[in-house]
Structures are given as C-alpha cells and as structure tokens.
Amino acid sequence: MEDKSEPNEKIPKEEKITEEKPETKTKEEIKDLTEQTETKEKKKLKGKQKEEEKKETPKKIDRGPDFKYIVRLSNTDINGAKSVAYGLTSVKGIGLHMASLIVDQSGINRYTKVGDLNDSQIEKLQQIINNLSNNAPGWMLNHRKDYETGKNFHFVGNDIATRLRDEINIMKKIGSYKGVRHGLGLRVRGQRTSSNGRRGLALGVSKKREPASSSSKSSK
C-alpha cells in the first residue's frame, strides 16, 4: 500500500511583531521647525503685500511739462494718452476708418499721442473735421442725399442728434409711414411688436367676458 499522505509542509514561523516607538524630538529640533514655519509664513505675507502695492500704485509715466492730458476737439474731451487715430474715435460721428483718413490728410503720424500735438496741429485737425463733407469721399459720409439740397454731408458731435430730430419732424409733417410710426411711438423698421417691445401700460392678455344674458340662457 502506498502512503497517499502528502509530505509535511514547512509551516512558517510566526514573525515577532515589534512595535516601533515614536521618535522623540529634542527641544532644539522643535525650535528649528517652528522657526522654519514662521519664516515661510513671513515670506508669504511679504509676497502678498508686494503684490497689493503693485496693484494699488500703478506706474506713472513722466511725459514732460508740455504734455496735454486732455485735448478739446469738436466739443469733446479726448484723452491725451491715446494715439491720434484712436483718440479721434471718441468724437461722435468719427469712426476708426474716418479717423485714419483725417490723420493721413493732416500729415501727422498715427501713433503719436494726442497730448504731444502742438496747437497748430490741433487746429489743422479741427479744420479737416469741419470740412469732412468736402475732404472725404461720398461713400464715407454719414448723411447722404439731404432732403432739402440733395447733397452729401458729414455731421459730427451734437449736430447728429439735432439733424436726426429735424428729419423725424419732416417725416411726421409729410405723413409718411415712418413718420406715422414715429408719432405713435411704435417700431419703424418692420420689427415684431406682439411679443417684444412692449412699453407703457402692459396689461397682458385679457379674455373677453360673455354677457350675463347669454350665460343665463345656456343654463336654462
């Protein structure tokens, strides 16, 4: 008879569990750690203070005693720190395209600051702005085919609002479709009025009530 019993397996010995004792730090090591944390916190505070100071105090550029911080053109104040091409766009009725044309006709560099311009250069710009209807091509003007004269004009500043008011009054007097819509205070250019543009006393949708006589007959 053969022994079917398996050979004796080696049983692993139980390893002794040794508890690691917490390392005891000396007083000097504790002081060093506290000093390191304090120094890190101080550095962070200093960095935040410097960032706040940079944000609070913007850099002031000394542009010289002759620099004009505000220049008056066509009854509008222009920031002197802007370039001439972009500074002229603050005038109502002058876009970037028209401003570049004005600057090129005056012979001034587009990138010069408005505050660095002489009085003669400012006067030259003002003269060109006043004569834009003659200096600029017709397709660049903002008021073409005038109602009374049929000529092309370019209005700037407060003249735009006054001219627009006059033209609306002319349309009202004629009795044109646009004039009637302006008089009623409705949209002029074919917009929807049922859903949008509700102004004034908006009561909402009100259902029609049936008379009392009809309701009584139906009950009978």
pTM for the complete prediction?
A: 0.59
Pair 134, 164 in one domain: no
Helical packing angle, 158-174 and 177-184, nearest 10°: 110
Give the CATH number of the domain where residue 103 resides: 1.10.8.50
Pair 96, 154 in one domain: no
Give residue-wise pLDDT tens across range 157-205.
999 999 999 999 999 999 999 999 999 999 999 999 888 888 776 566 6
Query: What is the domain extent for residue 164?
Result: 140-184
Pair 79, 128 in one domain: yes
In angstroms, the Cα distances linking 217 to 56, 207, 211, 220 are 81, 21, 11, 5
Pair 88, 120 in one domain: yes
Please give the single-letter amino acid code of residue 186: L
Give residue-wise pLDDT tens across range 130-154.
999 998 999 999 999 988 888 999 9
Beta partners for residue 76, in sequence order: 73
